[in-house]
Structure 1
């Protein structure tokens, strides 16, 4: 059984009259806002009507995800290119240009494609390849995939507009549509990008590498899936220059698509569970389980928490942790939070930290 403070918390959060509680909470929050901690002389209203200056620099306007991806990728390729350039004579295979072959070998190693057209043939080159394949896989998993995910999300808006071209959706309708079918649109966008990369790769292999259509399809498939048999690969200077960017984007795009498909499958299972919980009839056993304070009545807060637990949205441990945090902030044990409670809790935390 929860204590009176916990019950009061749940009742206040999910009261049958939420508008009154919402106004009350907004008013109390304004009183306890950081304005109390700022002196009147420190407030500068001279620039209230002026928006913050916007930077005209191209680099500053790039999303942080892409900046991090670019920095990590450049660092990886520079180090890898320098290392493999100095041991290129210890790597056997068909070579076209020292620097280009070094960058190409980095990309092939990083994406685990491993055609076999360039193969380490000494102790030093083999050790370098081992080091760069692990670091390259970590780079793709931790950084580049984030940038690819952001790129896909930016294209979702264009896809929604295209699918609802005749409806003239506004920004709010577009956001709502994206929220309801976010993962599905990610799958569609990834499939579209992958199809474009597939066709571009085929075109380059046919026009520059001189392969037939079937061999081009075969080489594209073995590359995108990182199978890399090695019997068909990029062997010309122009082909390898194209492959540096194409291999990187195509392999990552396929990996992202597979992740989105798995996410979509999980989301659909979750929606099925939610639908089952919402349509299931309440029984006496359900009422007993939802009656947290065991008073014979199930309030709105108790009912909603019980349903959320059935849907798998939250668990009892989450509720217990939040109630524990609330109890730590509720210094006077009144069942509600006030500015005084927050100040006392902060003072107690500061004192404990200073003593320790």
Structure 2
């Protein structure tokens, strides 16, 4: 939902920029409303055919700031639109991975310690890897950190391990 708000806000800012440009062109450059809207849209979207331009000094000063802000607003709107599409694709993949039944191949792939069964933690790690949320490198870094904290080599982090690691 947060991405939708960002897209809506960015599109709103672009519309506001077009509106500000339209008003400025109408009042400063003395264009009619239709030409003001046309030039604003062409300028903000950076299409600009070159058939119209700012002629007054006040209009050019306004345009130098307005075009910078407007171009950045359009770029940000496109960035958020792309982010929304990517987020939607990730959610679709995650939903597919979570709804998919576990196969024999999945069981062998998820069985990290080759015990013939998978624990809840192995299942979670496997599903996170399938969703693309973590990779093998991430898992190795986490395991290395765990091994550093597991001073007694019990495969568990105990209070004693934490005391030993904090006294170093």
TM-score by length of 1: 0.43
Matched, 1:233 2:53: yes
Deviations for 1:233-287, whole angstroms, at most 9, x for unmatched residues?
A: 2222322332243222211110000000100110010010011011111122211
Aligned to 1:338: 162
Aligned to 2:114: 294
Deviations for 1:31-89, whole angstroms, at most 9, x for unmatched residues?
A: xxxxxxxxxxxxxxxxxxxxxxxxxxxxxxxxxxxxxxxxxxxxxxxxxxxxxxxxxxx
Aligned to 1:26: none
Q: After superposition, where does 1:279-318 map in structure 2 within 5 Å?
A: 279-318=99-138
In the TM superposition, residue 209 of structure 1 has moved relative to its aligned partner by 0.3
Deviations for 1:160-216, whole angstroms, at most 9, x for unmatched residues?
A: xxxxxxxxxxxxxxxxxxxxx111111111111111211121121122102233432
Aligned to 2:71: 251
Determine which structure has greater relative contact order: mean sequence separation of CA pairs < 8 Å that are 6+ residues apart, divided by chain length: 1
State how far apart, in whole Å, the 2-side matches of 1:235 and 1:332 are: 79
In the TM superposition, residue 228 of structure 1 has moved relative to its aligned partner by 4.0
User: Is the 1:332–1:341 contact (alpha carbons within 8 Å) kept by the matching residues of 2?
Assistant: no
State how far apart, in whole Å, the 2-side matches of 1:325 and 1:255 are: 40
Matched, 1:197 2:17: yes
Matched, 1:271 2:91: yes
In the TM superposition, residue 321 of structure 1 has moved relative to its aligned partner by 1.6
* Aligned CA-pair RMSD: 1.8
SS at match of 1:294: coil
Matched, 1:319 2:143: no
Unaligned runs of 5+ in 2: none
State how far apart, in whole Å, the 1-side matches of 2:166 and 2:54 are: 65
State how far apart, in whole Å, the 2-side matches of 1:221 and 1:233 are: 13
State how far apart, in whole Å, the 2-side matches of 1:235 and 1:247 are: 15
In the TM superposition, residue 229 of structure 1 has moved relative to its aligned partner by 4.0
Which of these residues, 156, 168, 187, is aligned with residue 7 of structure 2?
A: 187
Number of residue pairs the alignment of both structures matches: 164
State how far apart, in whole Å, the 2-side matches of 1:232 and 1:324 are: 64
In the TM superposition, residue 316 of structure 1 has moved relative to its aligned partner by 1.4
State how far apart, in whole Å, the 2-side matches of 1:233 and 1:342 are: 68
